[in-house]
Structure 1
């Protein structure tokens, strides 16, 4: 068989591995931050109707600009954020990863630079590399928060073309305050992308960066239907920004990039927003339950505004990960020494996780 080394790969791809979390057949899969609740039966029925309605026209291309879907997304953002969002400010693609890719294709590229405050979403530097955009790691404090003065100074020094801020941050979970986002915007002449994939799970009082959009034409807020909406299999992400940004990304989007089926399914889901988001409070309750249980096990966590918890400290995080897996619980080893990440699941899944962790912690926590 031919090896990768024998193919004429781009030099920056040599030695790299594809992105992906382990997909293992275990009883409790708590490693990919999915919403654990199945879709309501009323939505499943409407999905069948919606997909059947467009199936007869699959010999024709879909709406290239997905206007009806973007209109529904704008309505959702306006309703839930209190900010006035119109269709011209919204763009949609196949998952938020494609949204981010299109942004880097538009504003990054060869001889351009992106900066993100790591540890953060690992796909940001991967997508940057795939678009030939140079990547710079931004600084974080030891507690994983962003020191706004140091961050502003670094942005002014590096002068990146694209700056990423993940809020709530992944894998650490904490939301970034709006003052920090505004200061970073003022410090750069480039595009500032606030990745809000987990924002629906934020603690009370956390305000979306959507409120910062007026008067900031280089600010972009990206979202997804994979998490709070429980539609990870749909692959639908979107952004809100100045209409000029929406116009710009259309220069690089592939023709008819969103299928008719995807658009119809997403619109059907948005019509069931209240039912789908009803699971968010249940997930948050399990997240907070995990956080509250950790001290008794001699462990701690990073404050979380997401549907997951970063917890530690372990002497050997990977050994602790394996010990949990041996007990039928799959969590995520995110590569941070001493830390693991667990998705907040159902009541039963949290029971299983805490039981397994109670068995694992005494022999794996730091200092034991």
Structure 2
């Protein structure tokens, strides 16, 4: 007897009603390959210590006794602890009501576009930038517009103002440090954009002006070089500004999936309208709170990763490569006539980096000293110098 696929059980193939615009698309994702040196997705290379892991496990064990109940849907304790962390890290005092969190900064971004985007609205950004941004727009039925960056990957405030005036977007997404370039935005540039965005949003139903929501994505903010301020310092002046962070990078908690943002309480309340009920599980909340108790230890490697990054930038430049200034835990370098050949040559030598960004460029995450040494040795072999 011949079995029949479920989609052909009635003798004819079933055609699923895929939403228009999704035809032929494949899921997002960097290559996940089993090689000795993984430097492709900007993870913190240092795992939590046994003591930190034990504390997280104990917190999760205690939370598990209450899994018959729904979690705290507004997670007040976690919001308070995240606000305290930002006070220490950036010197900005925030109320718990100014904090929002979700399952990774990806979900935070989705909440923003669910609340402020949608059919007939536009989100603006500037390429090259994080490749998920247009996917957030697509998934929320929001039109995507990408302006361009300068030759050194910075932003010209005048060009941004012109794009705001032309498109009147509901949201502008600005990564700082930018991924994949590592470029941080000066505070003066963010101020100029926030000023221009105050009345640059879509026209309200009554014909009045609205603000464009300015989102500064600081997923790599803790790695910024000394003297580079956080956009958190501007929150008191701009109620249409939101600054997002994550525990995935500097905290070394990529597997936890906890992202968050800081904004005016009125903006945060609008995100609560679109979030799914109980979107942060009790186990996620417990694990995040435990990790925050150890923030000193978990953040202890940030300074060494900064130093390793700066040394890597210098090493690449000494060998004649063009390297973008980086305030993140990765470095964009080039230029190569055939970057895929270089990427593949490194892979053959057990080193996985990322083939991303403008043509001719490659991105390498900052690893341990041993991983960086392996990358350098492999690159010299591939290039013959």
TM-score (normalizing by structure 2): 0.92
Question: Is residue 2:319 matched to residue 1:310?
Answer: no
Correspondences of 1:160-179 after superposition (within 5 Å): 160-179=169-188
Q: Which residue of 2 aligns with 1:211?
A: 233
Structure 1 residue 199: deviation in Å? 0.5
Give the 3 Å change call, closer, same or farther, for CA 362–147 of structure 1 in structure 2. Answer: farther
Correspondences of 1:218-367 after superposition (within 5 Å): 218-362=240-384
Mapped to 1, the partners of 2:135 and 2:110 lie a distance apart of: 10
Q: Which residue of 1 aligns with 2:34?
A: 25
Correspondences of 1:147-186 after superposition (within 5 Å): 147-186=156-195
Mapped to 2, the partners of 1:347 and 1:5 lie a distance apart of: 54
Question: Deviation digits for residues 187-225 of structure 1, max 9, x if unmatched?
Answer: 222100000000000000010000010121110000000
Let me know the Cα RMSD of the aligned residues: 1.5
Mapped to 2, the partners of 1:98 and 1:336 lie a distance apart of: 26
**2:355 touches 2:363 (CA, 8 Å); kept in 1?**
yes
Q: Which residue of 1 aligns with 2:61?
A: 52
Moved more, 177-186 or 3-12: 3-12
Equivalent residue for 1:70, pick from 44, 64, 79: 79
Q: Which residue of 1 aligns with 2:99?
A: 90
Moved more, 248-257 or 140-149: 140-149
Mapped to 2, the partners of 1:157 and 1:232 lie a distance apart of: 38
Structure 1 residue 5: deviation in Å? 10
Question: Is residue 2:115 matched to residue 1:106?
Answer: yes
Structure 1 residue 49: deviation in Å? 1.4
Q: Provide the secondary structure at the position in 2 that maps to 1:117.
A: strand
Name structure 2 gaps, 5 residues minimum: 198-210
TM-score (normalizing by structure 1): 0.96
Equivalent residue for 2:137, pick from 109, 128, 135: 128
**1:113 touches 1:135 (CA, 8 Å); kept in 2?**
yes
Moved more, 210-219 or 296-305: 296-305
Structure 1 residue 297: deviation in Å? 2.5
Name structure 1 gaps, 5 residues minimum: 364-368
Between Structure 1 and Structure 2, how many residues are aligned?
Answer: 363
Moved more, 173-182 or 40-49: 40-49
**1:297 touches 1:362 (CA, 8 Å); kept in 2?**
no
Question: Is residue 2:148 matched to residue 1:139?
Answer: yes
**1:311 touches 1:339 (CA, 8 Å); kept in 2?**
yes
Moved more, 175-184 or 199-208: 175-184
Mapped to 2, the partners of 1:227 and 1:219 lie a distance apart of: 22
Mapped to 2, the partners of 1:348 and 1:192 lie a distance apart of: 39
Equivalent residue for 1:7, pick from 10, 13, 16: 16
Q: Provide the secondary structure at the position in 2 that maps to 1:240.
A: strand
**1:297 touches 1:358 (CA, 8 Å); kept in 2?**
no
Mapped to 1, the partners of 2:357 and 2:324 lie a distance apart of: 15
Which structure has the bigger radius of gyration? 2
Mapped to 2, the partners of 1:239 and 1:295 lie a distance apart of: 35
Structure 1 residue 288: deviation in Å? 1.3
Question: Deviation digits for residues 20-62 of structure 1, max 9, x if unmatched?
Answer: 0000000101000000001022211211211111111001100
Structure 1 residue 295: deviation in Å? 2.6
**2:128 touches 2:357 (CA, 8 Å); kept in 1?**
no
Mapped to 2, the partners of 1:18 and 1:324 lie a distance apart of: 25
Q: Provide the secondary structure at the position in 2 that maps to 1:251.
A: helix
Give the 3 Å change call, closer, same or farther, for CA 349–8 of structure 1 in structure 2. Answer: same
